[in-house]
């Protein structure tokens, strides 16, 4: 049984800043400080960590446990309004190709789809609601499970094991996200990692984190299905040694060097030219 865990923000949907606005609203209600999220790096962290940092940006100190609970309530209360606002102003999007990709995966008996997200559980479903994708996710790991993204993923896998009524091996878990933090968490937990570049992640940081698969989005399902071991690689290359670049050599090149995208593109250009020369073209 393969377990496929999806991050939400930037991986399944882009909610048009609804989460940040809801958090800004909650921090302002408690501290009077406007736009607290402007000075906080939200992407790839858990909601709880973001709440603490945004509150600190507003008040100059960490919240007490009671304040954090109140802030969380205010955030969750406000979130549906902000998500609806994003939908109304046409700032809410599904990541390209994700609907068809999920439909394809949902038809398989050998794969279980779950969420692996820093969002609080109720926040996660509020954000997903307008996308119509919620039906695909029977379980998940959430920001309310732990501050640590790798623990969140492990929790999701525990729940998957209960659903599958069998223990799950790390090698059968595939984590799909949009930031280097998703990759780091997956690696820390001993799972596979794939990244969409069209989300909110920093490209150079993603490259350095060295996930097994990098793709712009899900509009071309093939590399994803090959990576998941659900489709045979037409080149006959073993899964895990081949990713988006044209050849395993190119992948090995950037996997080893960890250079950022621009350097890699320059390197690839050189490689391709050398290959053409060698082939006498």
Residues binding Mg ion (CB under 5 A): 7, 9-10, 178
Nearer to Mg ion, 206 or 226 (CB): 206
Q: How many CA atoms lie within 13 A of 135 on its CB side?
A: 9
Nearest alpha-carbon partner for 211 in 249, 174, 158, 247: 174
To Mg ion, the closest distance from the beta carbon of 274 in angstroms equals 37
To Mg ion, the closest distance from the beta carbon of 7 in angstroms equals 4
Nearer to Mg ion, 9 or 172 (CB): 9
To Mg ion, the closest distance from the beta carbon of 12 in angstroms equals 9
Nearer to Mg ion, 149 or 251 (CB): 149
Residues paired with 115 in a beta bridge = 6, 140
Nearer to Mg ion, 47 or 178 (CB): 178
To Mg ion, the closest distance from the beta carbon of 220 in angstroms equals 20
Nearer to Mg ion, 196 or 264 (CB): 196
State the Cα–Cα distance between residues 56 and 60, nearest whole angstrom.
5
To Mg ion, the closest distance from the beta carbon of 208 in angstroms equals 17
Nearer to Mg ion, 31 or 53 (CB): 53
To Mg ion, the closest distance from the beta carbon of 113 in angstroms equals 17
Report H helices in 119-257.
Answer: 121-128, 149-164, 180-189, 203-209, 222-227, 248-257
Contacts of 216 (CB under 8 A, 6+ apart): 96, 196, 197, 198
209-216: long-range contacts at Cβ-Cβ below 8 A with a sequence spacing of 24 or more? 209/180, 209/183, 209/184, 210/183, 210/255, 210/258, 211/183, 211/186, 212/240, 212/243, 213/243, 213/244, 214/243, 214/244, 215/244, 216/96
């Amino acid at each position: 049984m393969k377990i496929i865990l999806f991050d939400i923000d930037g991986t399944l949907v882009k909610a048009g800043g609804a989460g940040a606005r809801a958090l800004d609203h909650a921090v302002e209600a408690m501290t009077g400080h406007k736009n607290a999220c402007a000075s906080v790096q939200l992407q790839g962290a858990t909601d709880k960590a973001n709440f603490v940092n945004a509150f600190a940006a507003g008040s100059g100190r960490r919240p007490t446990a009671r304040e954090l609970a109140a802030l969380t309530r205010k955030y969750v209360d406000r979130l549906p309004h902000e998500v609806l606002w994003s939908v109304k102003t046409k700032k809410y999007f599904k990541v390209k190709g994700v609907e068809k990709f999920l439909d394809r995966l949902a038809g398989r008996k050998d794969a279980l789809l779950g969420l692996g997200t820093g969002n609080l559980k109720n926040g996660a479903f509020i954000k997903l609601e307008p996308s119509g994708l919620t039906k695909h996710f029977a379980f998940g790991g959430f920001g309310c499970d732990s501050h640590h993204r790798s623990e969140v993923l492990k929790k999701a896998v525990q729940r998957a094991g209960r659903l599958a009524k069998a223990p799950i091996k790390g090698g059968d878990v595939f984590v799909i996200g949009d930031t280097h933090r998703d990759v780091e968490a997956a690696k820390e937990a001993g799972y596979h990692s794939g990244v969409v570049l069209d989300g909110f992640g920093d490209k150079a940081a993603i490259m350095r984190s060295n996930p097994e698969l990098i793709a712009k989005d899900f509009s071309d399902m093939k590399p994803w299905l090959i990576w998941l071991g659900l489709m045979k690689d037409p080149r006959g290359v073993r899964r895990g040694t081949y990713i988006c670049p044209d050849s395993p050599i190119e992948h090995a090149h950037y996997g080893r060097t960890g250079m950022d995208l621009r350097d890699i593109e320059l390197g690839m250009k050189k490689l391709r030219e050398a290959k053409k020369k060698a082939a006498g073209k």
